[in-house]
């Protein structure tokens, strides 16, 4: 299926590495101008440079997505610079795993701020301009952990579950302005985030996956690219699980 992207601009958070980088690369291959956001300049800068080197159109912007004032300022400047932002992919995320009894306030707050507050900041900052153009796509990268919970991840599960309710609300509030909002819940995907797991843990996880492998970043980026396209215009408020069949 050939996807349609007419002169679109996308902003992808957490585009420096892993899933976000794959999303930025795939959107760029489809002819979308991509603004790569990550925490460190070198990370998003490297991702944007790699896209340009392979013929795509990308710029980088280092923003701490957990900082509301920084997001508001970056959004305003980027809208001025690029004229519009049609596609927002809220993908930046962190983990601070530990059992609830040992979880410190900062473990809780860091994860909620980075994974959930960031979606609120970027979506609030960009949907007004999308609405003026009567076209927009908001895609939030949640997790199967938000659907099923996971021991040692109370903070992360709460943030990811929060993203699902947030997505449905954005879908309802902005439908009349031509903006769709959907969430994607990856299972275990091979990235830096999961590289900390030892081989034994990975083996246990794979045994719970009917398709018997960890996911690849492309498994997620392909769906996000479709949800960003013209062709997905009748899909909104949905949660898509991409996990090899783990959650059914
Ligand atoms: P990753 O490889 O660890 O990359 C995370 C990205 O988020 C990096 O580019 C990082 O920026 C950025 N980031 C983190 N904190 C930030 C902040 N405060 N401000 C701006 N950027 C920030 O992660 P991943 O595995 O690709 O995961 C991407 C998303 O998918 C996350 O939301 C994660 O929760 C979700 N997810 C992943 C899996 C999985 O198995 N990997 C499963 C389910 C859901 P720098 O590069 O500058 O450090």
Question: Is 245 part of a structural domain of the chain?
Answer: no
CA separation, residue 146 to residues 52, 90, 155, 247 (Å): 35, 15, 10, 11
Confidence (pLDDT) at 78: 98
What's the gap in Å between 158 CA and the centre of ligand 1? 16
Q: Which residues neighbour 116 within 8 Å (Cβ) at sequence distance 6 or greater?
A: 158, 159, 162, 163, 166
Euclidean distance between CA atoms 106 and 180, whole angstroms? 33
Which of these is catalytic: 121, 156, 226, 234?
A: 156
Of the candidates 115, 116, 92, 89, the one whose C-alpha atom is nearest the C-alpha of residue 35 is 89
Residue of 11, 12, 14 to mutate, ligand 1, most atoms within 8 A of C-beta? 14
Confidence (pLDDT) at 192: 93
The answer to whether the beta carbons of residues 76 and 54 sit under 8 Å apart is no
Question: Is 107 part of a structural domain of the chain?
Answer: yes
What's the gap in Å between 94 CA and the centre of ligand 1? 6
Euclidean distance between CA atoms 211 and 20, whole angstroms? 23
The answer to whether residue 234 is catalytic is no
CA-nearest residue, atom 33 of ligand 1: 93
Confidence (pLDDT) at 123: 99
Question: Is 247 part of a structural domain of the chain?
Answer: no
The answer to whether the beta carbons of residues 54 and 229 sit under 8 Å apart is no
Ligand 1 pocket, residue 57 CB under 6 Å: no
pLDDT digit string, tens, across residues 114-158: 999 999 999 999 999 999 999 999 999 999 999 999 999 999 999
Confidence (pLDDT) at 113: 99
Question: Is 99 part of a structural domain of the chain?
Answer: yes
Question: Is 244 part of a structural domain of the chain?
Answer: no
CB atoms within 10 A of CB 72: 14
Confidence (pLDDT) at 131: 98
Question: In ligand 1, which atom is closest to the CA atom of 214?
Answer: 40
Mean pLDDT of 2-10: 97
What does the DSSP 8-state code read for residue 230? G
Q: Is 223 helix (H, G, I), strand (E, B) or coil?
A: helix
Question: Is 4 part of a structural domain of the chain?
Answer: no
Confidence (pLDDT) at 16: 98
CA Rg value for the chain:
17
What DSSP string describes 113-167? IIIIIHHHHHHHHHHHHHHHTT-EEEEEE--HHHHH--TT-HHHHHHHHHHHHHH
> What's the number of domains the chain is made of?
1
Question: In ligand 1, which atom is closest to the CA atom of 17?
Answer: 9
pLDDT digit string, tens, across residues 38-70: 999 999 999 999 999 999 999 999 999 999 999
Ligand 1 pocket, residue 124 CB under 6 Å: no
CA-nearest residue, atom 34 of ligand 1: 93
Q: Facing residues of 240 across strands?
A: 184
Q: Is 241 helix (H, G, I), strand (E, B) or coil?
A: strand
What does the DSSP 8-state code read for residue 112? I
pLDDT digit string, tens, across residues 147-187: 999 999 999 999 999 999 999 999 999 999 999 999 999 99
Residue 201 token pair: 């843990």
Q: Which domain holds residue 43?
A: 9-238
Confidence (pLDDT) at 69: 98
Confidence (pLDDT) at 33: 98
What's the gap in Å between 243 CA and the centre of ligand 1? 17
Tokens 């994607």 sit at which residue?
184
What's the gap in Å between 131 CA and the centre of ligand 1? 28
Question: Is 120 part of a structural domain of the chain?
Answer: yes
CATH (domain of 224): 3.40.50.720
Backbone dihedral region for residue 190 (phi beyond 0: left; psi -120 to 50: alpha; all else: beta): beta
Ligand 1 pocket, residue 194 CB under 6 Å: yes
């Amino acid at each position: 299926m050939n996807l349609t992207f007419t002169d679109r601009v996308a902003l992808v958070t957490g585009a420096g590495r892993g899933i976000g980088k794959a999303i930025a690369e795939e959107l760029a291959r489809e002819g979308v101008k991509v603004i790569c956001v990550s925490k460190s300049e070198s990370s998003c800068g490297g991702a944007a440079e790699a896209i340009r080197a392979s013929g795509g159109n990308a710029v980088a912007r280092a923003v701490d997505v957990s900082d509301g004032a920084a997001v508001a300022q970056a959004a305003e400047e980027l809208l001025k610079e690029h004229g519009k932002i049609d596609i927002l992919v809220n993908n930046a995320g962190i983990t601070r795993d530990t059992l609830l009894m040992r979880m410190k306030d900062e473990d809780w707050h860091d994860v909620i701020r980075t994974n959930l507050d960031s979606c609120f900041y970027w979506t609030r900052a960009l949907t007004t301009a999308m609405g003026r153009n009567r076209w927009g796509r908001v895609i939030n990268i949640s997790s199967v952990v938000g659907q099923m919970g996971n021991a040692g991840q109370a903070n992360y599960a709460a943030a990811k579950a929060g993203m699902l309710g947030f997505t449905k609300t954005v879908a309802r509030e902005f439908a009349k302005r031509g903006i769709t909002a959907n969430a994607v819940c990856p299972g275990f995907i091979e990235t830096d985030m999961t590289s900390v797991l030892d081989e034994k843990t990975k083996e246990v996880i794979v045994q719970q996956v009917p398709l018997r492998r960890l996911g690849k970043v492309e498994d997620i980026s392909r769906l996000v690219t479709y949800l960003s396209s013209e062709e997905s215009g009748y899909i909104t408020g949905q949660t898509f699980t991409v996990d090899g069949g783990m959650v059914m």
